[in-house]
Amino acid sequence: MVKYATAIKNGTASTEAVLSRFTGAASHPAYQAMLEVGKAQRTLFVARYLFDRDLQRQIEQGLNVVESWNRANAIICYGKSGEISTNHREEVEMTALCLRILQASLVFVNTLMLQDVLAEPEWSALLTPADRRGLSPLFWQHVRPYGEVTLDLGSRLTIGTGVRAGVQRGGGRGVTGIS
């Protein structure tokens, strides 16, 4: 077992390669030992989780971020309940890549909007360091996924110019559909 663990740690063998050696021999002693070590590690983690309130809060906060982002994905990719309903590999990849581009764009715009708000002196003085650590660009409540979005390619969002975010030159809705 030490030989396999060393190979994985040094990068000379992947975990998949080591475990694939035991696919037909679940009764192999090294495989059984790895299972027992895994059970012990899980038991230690559960004990630490039950004892450490900070760890519980940290995990809960991480789960909340992931759940919020999954809800955002359901809003962004809303057709057929957000499910990819094809078995064609190219279509699945294209949908996933487009969703990633939309996610990155949303985070970029949100970051710019947060920077504009934080540049205002009244907000800068109001927020504590703990408040600033709690800020995240992973919000999506301002996205309007349904209905008509008017594209005005002649205007731009005035984000990042120190002017209040959301106000646009030219009176159009912008290309993002963000209201």
Q: What is the pLDDT of residues 95-110, one digit of tens each?
A: 888 888 888 888 888 8
DSSP one-letter code for 169: G
Structure tokens at 95: 């949908």
Q: To the nearest 10°, the Cα dihedral for 22, 27, 33, 39?
A: 90
pLDDT of residue 52: 95
In the predicted model, residues of the chain with pLDDT beneath 70 are 24-25, 78-82, 147, 149, 151, 160-179
pLDDT of residue 40: 92
pLDDT digits (tens, 9 = 90+) for 154-168: 877 777 665 444 444
pLDDT of residue 174: 38
